[in-house]
């Protein structure tokens, strides 16, 4: 009985430490909050930047909703209509495309720097877990949003991903082997990628994922404000600045500058200009599949290994990494910041290398020259 009581007490203590209700006040969370100033201080701005990009996504996404038609017969035409006939439609759509990539980029930088600075340590475990959830949700946004324009690359890339999910069943034992097929059928909604798939992706992209994301962002921000900024470096910072108004003011100026940058990009460089035009023609189920079908750049870290290495190796690696990311605060509990920095650099080198040179590596490994 006493053992049960002590376990209950431990659980209560765990949550009391992670949710310190006594700190739940404007005074503590805003007025008294300070931000350490050191060589890694720039990393404290990455989370705010991700939030800015999410807000751009929310606003531009709502604007696009007024015109987009989620049916296989009209989706492509409605996107064309937005682009060419709606006033500033091109700008809104291009802002949505650019900000989505920027959001994923800043989120990844935020996650890596948080890891390197050991900002996930006690009592910030829930902040880390909510951040990992946000990463998954953001990838979900990318995956579901990719299909909506219903052009060649959208439909064909979605087919490839769904086939990969089904293929995973071949490597699972017994009854487990049927689970990936079920998952694929649930996502797809019909025997092939079609109206049911588009409807499901649309619902996920515009209702379910945004609601989930807003909820998790709320928890994440609450945790950040309750626990304050982590120390970030081994030697305690000699200087610090007040969160309100000085840090937040710098944050807002950075938001202004970054917004301008993204705005200029959206106004001047169509996001689609980086890819071959046949990929953006209307999807034709009876027509030929254009070459160069690939997922968006932020999935290259899975895509190219899948092209190069045996399927089971990549799936095993990604599953371990996917689950492991939620247990980082406990796995690396006693690891020094120096070691964490080395791991972060290796992860960065891998992500940058495979994203920029994945195609070259693929050609070298396969011995082709396409």
Return residues touching other proteins (CB under 8 A).
Answer: 31, 83, 90, 244-245, 248-249, 252-253, 256, 259-260, 263-264, 267-270, 272-274, 276-281, 287-288, 290-292
Q: Least distance (Å) from other proteins to the CB of residue 289?
A: 11
Reduce the DSSP state of residue 34 to 3 states and report it.
strand
Q: Which is nearer to other proteins, 125 or 296 (CB)?
A: 296
Q: Least distance (Å) from other proteins to the CB of residue 59?
A: 15
Q: Least distance (Å) from other proteins to the CB of residue 341?
A: 34
Q: Which is nearer to other proteins, 247 or 299 (CB)?
A: 247
Q: Exposed e or buried b for every residue in 3-15, given b needs 16+ CB within 10 A?
A: eeeeeeeeeeeee
Q: Which is nearer to other proteins, 321 or 356 (CB)?
A: 356
Q: Is 167 exposed, middle or buried (0-12, 13-18, 19+ CB in 10 A)?
A: middle
Q: Which is nearer to other proteins, 268 or 323 (CB)?
A: 268
Q: Which is nearer to other proteins, 194 or 292 (CB)?
A: 292
Q: Which is nearer to other proteins, 46 or 279 (CB)?
A: 279
269-273 contacts at long range (C-beta below 8 A, 24 or more positions apart): 269/94, 270/90, 270/94, 271/94, 271/97, 271/98, 271/101, 272/97
What is the bridge-based pairing of β-strands 34-37 and 239-242? antiparallel
- Cβ(212)–Cβ(119) below 8 Å: no
Q: Least distance (Å) from other proteins to the CB of residue 214?
A: 23
Q: Least distance (Å) from other proteins to the CB of residue 293?
A: 10
Beta pairing partners, 151: 282
- Cβ(306)–Cβ(312) below 8 Å: no
Structure-token match 């659980």, residue found: 11
Q: Least distance (Å) from other proteins to the CB of residue 284?
A: 8
Would you tell me the crossing angle of helices 89-116 and 75-84 to the nearest 10 degrees? Answer: 100
Q: Exposed e or buried b for every residue in 349-369, given b needs 16+ CB within 10 A?
A: eebeebbeebbebbeeeeeee
Q: Which is nearer to other proteins, 128 or 280 (CB)?
A: 280
Q: Least distance (Å) from other proteins to the CB of residue 88?
A: 10
Structure-token match 């081994």, residue found: 234
Q: Which is nearer to other proteins, 213 or 279 (CB)?
A: 279
Q: Least distance (Å) from other proteins to the CB of residue 279?
A: 7
How far apart CA 102 and CA 269 sit, in angstroms, is: 14
């Amino acid at each position: 009985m006493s053992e049960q009581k002590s376990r209950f007490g431990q659980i209560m203590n765990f949550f009391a430490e992670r949710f310190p209700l006594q700190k739940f006040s404007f005074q503590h969370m805003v007025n008294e909050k300070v931000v350490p100033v050191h060589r890694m201080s720039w990393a404290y701005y990455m989370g705010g930047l991700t939030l800015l990009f999410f807000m751009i996504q929310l606003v531009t996404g709502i604007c696009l909703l007024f015109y987009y038609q989620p049916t296989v017969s009209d989706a492509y035409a409605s996107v064309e209509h937005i682009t060419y006939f709606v006033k500033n439609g091109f700008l809104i759509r291009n802002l949505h495309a650019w900000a989505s990539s920027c959001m994923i980029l800043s989120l990844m930088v935020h996650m890596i720097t948080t890891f390197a600075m050991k900002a996930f340590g006690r009592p910030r475990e829930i902040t880390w877990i909510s951040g990992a959830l946000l990463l998954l949700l953001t990838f979900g946004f990318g995956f579901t949003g990719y299909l909506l324009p219903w052009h060649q690359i959208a439909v064909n890339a979605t087919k490839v991903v769904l086939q990969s999910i089904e293929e995973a069943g071949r490597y699972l034992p017994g009854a487990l082997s049927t689970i990936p097929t079920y998952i694929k059928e649930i996502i797809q909604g019909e025997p092939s990628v079609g109206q049911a798939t588009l409807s499901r992706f649309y619902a996920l992209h515009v209702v379910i994922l945004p609601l989930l994301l807003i909820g998790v962002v709320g928890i994440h921000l609450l945790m950040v404000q309750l626990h304050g900024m982590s120390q970030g470096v081994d030697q305690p910072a000699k200087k610090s600045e007040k969160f309100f108004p000085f840090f937040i003011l710098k944050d807002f100026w950075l938001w202004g500058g970054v917004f301008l940058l993204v705005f200029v990009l959206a106004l001047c460089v169509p996001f689609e200009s980086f890819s071959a035009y046949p990929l953006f023609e209307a999807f034709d189920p009876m027509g030929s599949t254009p070459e160069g079908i690939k997922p968006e750049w932020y999935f290259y870290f899975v895509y190219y290994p899948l092209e190069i290495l045996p399927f089971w190796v990549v799936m095993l690696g990604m599953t371990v990494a996917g689950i492991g990311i939620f247990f980082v605060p406990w796995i690396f509990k006693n690891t020094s910041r120096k070691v964490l920095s080395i791991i972060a650099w290796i992860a960065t080198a891998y992500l940058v290398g495979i994203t920029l040179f994945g195609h070259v590596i693929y050609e070298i490994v396969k011995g082709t020259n396409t």
